[in-house]
Structure 1
Amino acid sequence: MMWKKRTEQKLGVAVYNWSGCVRHGLPLRVGDTVHVLEECAGWLRGYAVRQRGRRGLFPASYIQMKPCLVESDGPQEVITPIEDSVVTEVTQVLREWSERWKQLYIGREAHEVATLWKVMHELLDWRRQLVTGTLTQDQTRELRIKVTAKIDWGNRSLGLDLVPRVLGSMLDPDAISVVTLHQVHTQSLETSQGMSIRGTLRKKESKQPAAHNLYLALRDFGYVISEDAELYFSLYDAKKAKFVSERFLVQISRDGTSSFFNKSTNNSSTVFTDLGNVELSPQLYLVLHVLRVGRMVPSESAKRPASQRFRRPFGCAVVNVNDVLANRQPEAAERELTVRLQQTEERDFFQLHELVIRQASKCSVISGQGNYGVLLSLRLLHGSLAQLRRDMPLLLKHAVVTRKLGFPDVIMPGDVRNDLYLTLERGEFERGGKSTGKNIEVCVMVVRDEGRVLEDCIVSAGGQSGCRYYNSIILYHNNAPRWGDTIKLAVPIDSFNGSHLRLEFSHCSSTKERGEKKMFGFAFSRLMDEEGATVADGSHELCVYKCEDRHKLLNPASYLGLPWHSGMVQGAVGGNQHFGRTGREAVWVHTLLCSTKLTQNIGLLSLLKWKQNPDRIVETLTRMMKRREKRIVKFLQDAAGRSVPCFLPRTGQLKRSNSVLRVPIPGRRLS
């Protein structure tokens, strides 16, 4: 028989002891890893990993083959086992520790021998669980972290080297920087020091504020509206009398929730992130606004199909979040509760949530059939969103992220955000010769100065994709509507300059067969001024111009020269040859900028663009000293990166550079 070179299954483990009692035999012990080179009639030829210089023969029945990856490195072959890296590390560690255990046994170190024996058996048991592959993904991840922490604890106790790792996985020292390697080593040392002999990690008390998140899931909607419904969830701080989060939208078809939950594209759960210090918000409420989408008058919905679909108020419900926050343990289970919708007059729909909180008499519960109500599931989650996605992948698999209106308490250097929030507050319009009020709908869009409407930049709520237009709710026969709609304008950074916001107002007929919309006016607002500062936060009174033909707005140059807010108006009546304005019509909007790239601060903007006026850098830095640190820290990375060159001496400009260095910095002493 001829020896045949083996090309596959070249890695094996000895399952029996072999004394090598034949010519050219290779003695083996149980657990020895062998590399197989050749085979012949039930015999193998190769070498043991622990003694690579000696090659010999051994029976194939004594070896358990393992899957491996064979790579050629010149004349040498590199054999890598295809298994969990933690399992491989445990095998190597146990071999190394067994030699140290023998030395401790010979030295009669009874306590150390018993301790190491116990830890080695725990690692064997944990390795067996990993090899079987019967654990869930979460259990496997937790066990890997526990195993590596135990290994680091043992290496530290035995005076061996520590292995740099992140989340239980070893790092390649050649693939990371020295600073990162030092940070990983420090973290591994702290983890090993916090590891107890029982295999549990001692939790350190952190002085950093814990990140709180609220998980919300819609379980059932027990109301029959006979039309499509839109459910908007948001967080409201009753103490500050303002909403503190974006809106989360769940759409329910007229067929009910059964058709909704059967569609995998719909999302019925969300996570409200960055709640901050919840103890400081004892009056935090979850607010649910329900709109019906269909005809103007509900009684006409079932008679014939509607050619126009209008968003109309239906009801509201509130939940005191502190009832859920009573149990703040991470392992706390979800809490299910049923809320009842309440209603009031349409003109008070914008403040219906406040009336429900105060239990005002103007509110009344909407009746239903049987066990009616909205069934919700709430749960408080602790930790960052990235950590929660790792720890609870199944719970948050389809959950939508609903962000805070504003920045979180802690802003990380890599966080990039560029959101402009717009709230339609209220409007005042003329009756226009009608005996009743108008049914006013606002159409919001972002338009470039050349007339092109930006695509996919208006986000109505969390879980929704961007769109070109947003249509507001309609209050029946009301010339002074209060909407309260908040939307997000996700405008690209390079498109802020040269774009403007346009609001088109239409009267929606409720008597005509087609239910047509007739435009009667518009308003607009600049997103950025000529100096590059974004529109300021707060309420803005916009001028309303009369326009009944939408085609006149195709060229924005016909109206961009007009005053767009009340601070620019000089007379009660104004306009141009295309559009007229009366002082009796206006609309109020509220804007809030959450951006790490755009700013409303002229002083900070001057610092970021100091190269345009280098002679005024000293004045700019002096003015920045008087600014609030919270506004500056959001742009600290960009400000520091762009301002460092102004401190460097340049040819012919050394004197100015030295003067910059003498500018005092708060909290620092100059030598």
Structure 2
Amino acid sequence: MASKWTPIADRDKYGIDFIYRSAIRFALSKNTITGIMGIVLTVGTEITSVIREWGVIWKKLYVTSNPDFKIVREMMYELMTWRKQIMSGTLPADEMKELKQKVTAKIDQGNAILGLDLVVRDDSGNILNPEITSTIDLYRAHESATDRIKQLALNIEYKNKRSSSRYNHNLYVTVKNFVCRIGEDADLLMTLYDGKECAFISENYLVKWGKEGLMRDLDQLNNLRVVFADLGSKDLAREKVYLVCQTIRIGGMELKEETRNVRKSHHQNMKRSSDGLRRPFGVAVMDITDFFNGKFETDEEKQHFIPFAQCGERDSLDAVIRKIISAREISQKECKGQGLFVSIKLLHGDQKQIREEYAHLVSPFTSVARKMGFPEVILPGDIRNDLYLTLVSGEFSKGSKKSERNVEVTVKVCNEKSQTLQNCLSFGAGSEPMSEYRSVVYYHEERPKWMETLKISIPIEEFYGGHLKFTFRHRSSNDNKDKSEKPFAMSFIRLMNENGTTMSDQNHELLVYKVDHKRYDETEVAYFKLPSTREELEQRVNDSNYNINQIGVKQLSNMFQTNGIQISPKDSFTVSTVVCSTKLTQNIDLLGLLKWKLNPENLKFNLLALMKVDGEEVVKFLQDTLDALFDILMQ
């Protein structure tokens, strides 16, 4: 109810009961409250009236830069979200009753902040009718409501203090717009980046951008939102943190003539490849360190412009990111007005908490980009089995080509029968699963450096006997030549080690095997008997009583070949892996305890070895570890 009907000072003159009854009559005469007093007032109608009344005062708070402006705005957002749930008519009676109590408590709290009159209610949240309620009951209800609001204010203050000490933190990002002259479809890959370690922190968030200047999926219009989750206090304390957006153009080897002026070359007379090559285009980088450490306040309504820097002809996306970080800031004039418009807000709490407390921001459809690693606190029931693979770099000889190759890497996950596992690869959040991943193609680069990260999600049982298979293909600028090109080499790496542990989190230097297509069959699994990494190769050679440094290239090639593939000692390919699993361990001592039934005679040794296992590793597998220990006690 509005406070215009009588001065607050008149309360001392006329008394609370008289003022309250007059307020109700005034509201009825102005039709600000609908329905008959004594009947439960429709919650949706009350919210509508409150929002209208608050809206006028809220605008005045903005003009006067009142600090209550943001508080009231959050309350109005919550009330509108709750009204939407109420008006949907899908809530059961118990949830409706609980939501009604939340609504009335929020309205009373907001009225107190804005200095409006207190609405006296009964225990069910209904407005009391002064015509049938005694003055004494009204007074007692008034006192009870005042105490309730004071207690609510204390709870909020405690809640705010507690939020600052929470272990889980999240960065909420909304993509407002992307302005860039590309002329072709593009993939925007957004992620968090550690500027000191020069490494990505989180998985990617994919936005598919169309050549028309809008997202390709129009259902995502005004709904490009992502939560970078699982951040801890150590992440907020990093020296330099950046929000990075990599832009990958999808089209021909070279940009179309109408999109930019390029010098004439013999390539212009050739027919451009139309097979949808993924080509590097540019990067947008924003320093968010001050938002993480609290120097600047995050606000989901404030829009930030991130200038766009285009790649040079010989630049990799990773090189451009490092160049921007080490250089001064890019001005709008230098980027020619091209860039990314975003808003950001730091949310505290786990996924369940932020969905409840920030329901107006985080909906069930909001994408969640998880950290490439475990959070500081692993909650019960948080089961993960994700593998993050980064294509780092490679070195490939020309072969029969006159110039360096345009290398495209294709990634597949295969089982022990060399069958491709379907729909287990993705860019990360906001991405549809796919069966094979194709890398960015760098033009005539002998030592391409990709630094591309993809997410692999497969069932636990598929890890045993499974492996990653990489094929390398030269992509030509000419359509006819490109169609005839076949993979010239391949690499692979097993997901599990021979001792039963999962592959370690590190860089893996893989061996590259040349492919003879006249003899090579993709369904063959004979290559699985060959060494996959440089470390395995050295071990095999040493076991054969040879010196890896003295053995010749030809002899090495003859030693490791089978069914159309032969090792290429001069070529190399490096990948990096991070395993985030609560079921598959990389620790041999912990594995011995979890699998103690296979070798019960080693039980004493396994129990003693458990004492040496890092506590963080035990927490990841706490439930399985406790199950194993209780099973041992029962035996």
**Distance of aligned partners of 1:339 and 1:611 in 2 relative to their CA distance in 1, 3 Å threshold:** same
Separation (CA, whole Å) in 2 of partners of 1:616 and 1:327 = 52
1:543 maps to a residue whose letter is L
Quote the residue 2:85 is aligned against: none
2:351 to 374, 378, 385: 385
> Is 2:561 the counterpart of 1:576?
yes
2:354 maps to a residue whose letter is L
Deviation at 1:306, TM superposition (A): 4.5
Quote the residue 2:525 is aligned against: 557
Deviation at 1:626, TM superposition (A): 1.5
Asked whether the 8 Å contact 2:424–2:456 carries over to 1, the reply is yes
Asked whether the 8 Å contact 1:519–1:550 carries over to 2, the reply is no
> Is 2:182 the counterpart of 1:225?
yes
Asked whether the 8 Å contact 1:445–1:501 carries over to 2, the reply is yes
Structure 1 segment 402-481 matched on structure 2, within 5 A: 402-481=369-448
Deviation at 1:81, TM superposition (A): 8.6
1:535 to 495, 503, 511: 503
> Is 2:504 the counterpart of 1:547?
no
1:85 maps to a residue whose letter is K
**Distance of aligned partners of 1:266 and 1:346 in 2 relative to their CA distance in 1, 3 Å threshold:** farther
Deviation at 1:82, TM superposition (A): 9.2
Deviation at 1:515, TM superposition (A): 3.2
**Distance of aligned partners of 1:377 and 1:590 in 2 relative to their CA distance in 1, 3 Å threshold:** same
Q: Which has the higher strand share?
A: 1
Separation (CA, whole Å) in 2 of partners of 1:635 and 1:208 = 25
**Distance of aligned partners of 1:252 and 1:89 in 2 relative to their CA distance in 1, 3 Å threshold:** closer
1:635 to 621, 624, 629: 621
**Distance of aligned partners of 1:224 and 1:199 in 2 relative to their CA distance in 1, 3 Å threshold:** same
**Distance of aligned partners of 1:525 and 1:298 in 2 relative to their CA distance in 1, 3 Å threshold:** same
Separation (CA, whole Å) in 2 of partners of 1:84 and 1:337 = 39
Structure 1 segment 182-581 matched on structure 2, within 5 A: 196=151, 201=156, 203=158, 205-206=161-162, 208-257=165-214, 260=216, 262-264=218-220, 268-277=224-233, 278-299=235-256, 306-325=273-292, 332-342=299-309, 343-359=311-327, 371-397=337-363, 398-513=365-480, 515-516=482-483, 517-549=485-517, 552-569=520-537, 570=541, 572=553, 573-574=556-557, 575-578=560-563, 579-581=565-567
Deviation at 1:322, TM superposition (A): 2.5
**Partner of 1:506: helix, strand, or coil?**
strand
TM-score by length of 1: 0.66
Separation (CA, whole Å) in 1 of partners of 2:382 and 2:371 = 14
**Distance of aligned partners of 1:199 and 1:476 in 2 relative to their CA distance in 1, 3 Å threshold:** closer
2:463 maps to a residue whose letter is F
Deviation at 1:388, TM superposition (A): 1.7
**Distance of aligned partners of 1:261 and 1:368 in 2 relative to their CA distance in 1, 3 Å threshold:** farther
Cα deviation, 1:62-83, whole Å, max 9, x if unaligned, reads xxxxxxxxxxxxxxxxxx9999
Unaligned segments of structure 1, at least 5 residues: 1-29, 34-79, 91-119, 132-149, 158-191, 651-671
For the pair shown, the structure with the greater C-alpha radius of gyration is: 1
Separation (CA, whole Å) in 2 of partners of 1:365 and 1:344 = 19
**Distance of aligned partners of 1:261 and 1:473 in 2 relative to their CA distance in 1, 3 Å threshold:** closer
2:582 to 579, 596, 602: 596
Cα deviation, 1:20-75, whole Å, max 9, x if unaligned, reads xxxxxxxxxx9899xxxxxxxxxxxxxxxxxxxxxxxxxxxxxxxxxxxxxxxxxx
Separation (CA, whole Å) in 1 of partners of 2:250 and 2:201 = 26
Separation (CA, whole Å) in 2 of partners of 1:87 and 1:396 = 18
Cα deviation, 1:395-420, whole Å, max 9, x if unaligned, reads 22332100001000100121100001
> Is 2:606 the counterpart of 1:620?
yes
Higher relative contact order (CA 8 A, sep 6+): 2
Separation (CA, whole Å) in 2 of partners of 1:455 and 1:334 = 41
2:561 maps to a residue whose letter is N
- Range with bigger deviation, 574-583 or 618-627: 574-583
Separation (CA, whole Å) in 2 of partners of 1:306 and 1:256 = 23
**Partner of 2:569: helix, strand, or coil?**
coil
**Partner of 1:552: helix, strand, or coil?**
coil
**Partner of 1:532: helix, strand, or coil?**
coil
Q: Which has the higher helix share?
A: 2
2:533 maps to a residue whose letter is H
Deviation at 1:480, TM superposition (A): 1.0
1:393 maps to a residue whose letter is A
> Is 2:133 the counterpart of 1:123?
no
**Distance of aligned partners of 1:349 and 1:195 in 2 relative to their CA distance in 1, 3 Å threshold:** same
**Partner of 1:388: helix, strand, or coil?**
helix
TM-score by length of 2: 0.69
**Distance of aligned partners of 1:129 and 1:616 in 2 relative to their CA distance in 1, 3 Å threshold:** farther
Separation (CA, whole Å) in 1 of partners of 2:598 and 2:466 = 23
Separation (CA, whole Å) in 2 of partners of 1:642 and 1:484 = 40
Report the aligned-residue RMSD: 3.7
Separation (CA, whole Å) in 2 of partners of 1:130 and 1:471 = 67
**Distance of aligned partners of 1:509 and 1:445 in 2 relative to their CA distance in 1, 3 Å threshold:** same
**Partner of 1:263: helix, strand, or coil?**
helix
Cα deviation, 1:284-314, whole Å, max 9, x if unaligned, reads 1111111111001114688978531110111
- Range with bigger deviation, 449-458 or 513-522: 513-522
Deviation at 1:647, TM superposition (A): 2.5
Asked whether the 8 Å contact 2:332–2:338 carries over to 1, the reply is no
Unaligned segments of structure 2, at least 5 residues: 1-36, 41-91, 103-117, 130-139, 260-267, 542-547
Separation (CA, whole Å) in 2 of partners of 1:81 and 1:561 = 64
Asked whether the 8 Å contact 1:440–1:474 carries over to 2, the reply is yes
**Distance of aligned partners of 1:634 and 1:510 in 2 relative to their CA distance in 1, 3 Å threshold:** same
Quote the residue 2:97 is aligned against: 85
Deviation at 1:264, TM superposition (A): 3.9
Cα deviation, 1:549-596, whole Å, max 9, x if unaligned, reads 399343342210011111121255232242111210110000110000
Aligned length in residues:
488
**Distance of aligned partners of 1:198 and 1:521 in 2 relative to their CA distance in 1, 3 Å threshold:** closer
